[in-house]
Amino acid sequence: MSIELKIPEVGESITEVQIGDWLKAEGDAVNADEAVAVIDSEKTTFELSAPKGGRLAKILHKAGETVKVGEVIAQIEPGEDAETKKPEKPQEPKATARPESPAPKSEKKTSAGLEPREGKTTQPESDPKQRQEKESEKRKQPDSPSKEQLPAPEPKTESAPSKFTFNGEEEVVPMTMLRRTVARRLVEAQQNMAMLTTINEADLSAVQSLRKQHGEAFEKRYGVKLGLMSFFVKAAIDALKQFPELNAEIRDTNIVYRNYFDIGVAIATDRGLVVPVLRRAERTSFAELEQAIGEFAKRGREGKLKPEELAGGTFTITNGGVFGSLLSTPIINPPQTGILGLHTIQDRPVAVGGQVVIRPLMYLALTYDHRLVDGREAVLFVRRIKEAIENPARMLVEI
């Protein structure tokens, strides 16, 4: 009896998914727990594995099709795993049969003597008189039909190409369910929120000095590098405690204030932007933050993030600086009321103590929902983050 490959439960409120790609073709051998297809959902991308080893007998839904949770998308004929049962090479017997037939030799000689312009060379013309008569006939004939036949090549694309023919320059690819969901939510955020962005800049000299001073010992002890994101997560939590509106949400006609801090960290993948959440980040150490962020980034690129890891979140941080962005205005991830955008670090001249010095500076951009957060609170929030980054010790003593 064949084994049914079904779409599993993906997460709460998700009723359908999209088949992103088939990793195996019909007839291929598969092992138990081997990835067979890539599945896209509204929140994440994951690989669907074969429950048992055998052969992929039939694919019921092609890549790009939308299917419901619990629906059968393929059938597997049970059998041995591909690793334990290796098929013999089928090509060898055919190779030994070829030399027995002498036919190809004569074919090669015939085809090699053909001229591209002449269609018949099988019967040689021995009589020179006949050859002269035929040649004179050939010269006479082109004059009469040429007027009727010459216009035919004119519509060819070489002479008059059509601007509506793209010759393979365009490719139509269906949007993944993740991309469609991101697009829909971003448009909803623009339509339903009063978004405004305030910008400041932070001097990263102190953070860079700490990383240089303690980075090697930190990596030896915890097995992960001391990055920038953990500093900004801690600085954001410090600021959110001072300005709780940015950690709240509007629910109907109520404001819901949260006394916990689930910080979303935006990660760019080949299939779209995902935002895994650092749960109760206020209780997490620098090392635990760096380990969690590194693991999220790795599994995000592999398409192995779980839907529950992407759900919720009270505030989001996105870092366009890793791609070289100097300044941008990020869009809020609903129903949150704020998002902090980090940007590239640049050495720029700045006045310090009456003198011009060169410092590593980064623009900080906070986009906030003006329905709940006033401009004063937003500006002071970003300034609080700036102060925490420029003097990291204050985050340890909470002053």
Where in the sequence numbering do the catalytic residues fall? Answer: 370, 374
Name beta bridge partners: 312. Answer: none
The answer to whether the beta carbons of residues 232 and 289 sit under 8 Å apart is no
Distance CA 80, CA 63 (A): 27
DSSP code per residue over 189-239: HHHHS-EEEEEEEEE-HHHHHHHHHHHHHHHHHHSS---SHHHHHHHHHHH
Distance CA 26, CA 43 (A): 28
Distance CA 180, CA 203 (A): 38
Rg of the Cα atoms in the chain: 34
Which amino acid type is present at position 19? I
Distance CA 60, CA 75 (A): 8
| CA 40 from centroid of its chain's CA atoms | 11
Distance CA 235, CA 376 (A): 19
Longest C-alpha distance within the chain, in Å?
Answer: 113
First vs last C-alpha separation in the chain: 68
Stated length of the chain: 399
Distance CA 220, CA 238 (A): 28
Distance CA 359, CA 345 (A): 10
| CA 341 from centroid of its chain's CA atoms | 20
- The contacts of residue 388 (CB under 8 Å, 6+ apart) are 234, 235, 238, 239, 394, 395
- The contacts of residue 244 (CB under 8 Å, 6+ apart) are 257, 258
Among the listed residues 294, 50, 303, the one whose alpha carbon sits nearest the alpha carbon of residue 176: 303
Which tokens go with 369? Answer: 């929902």
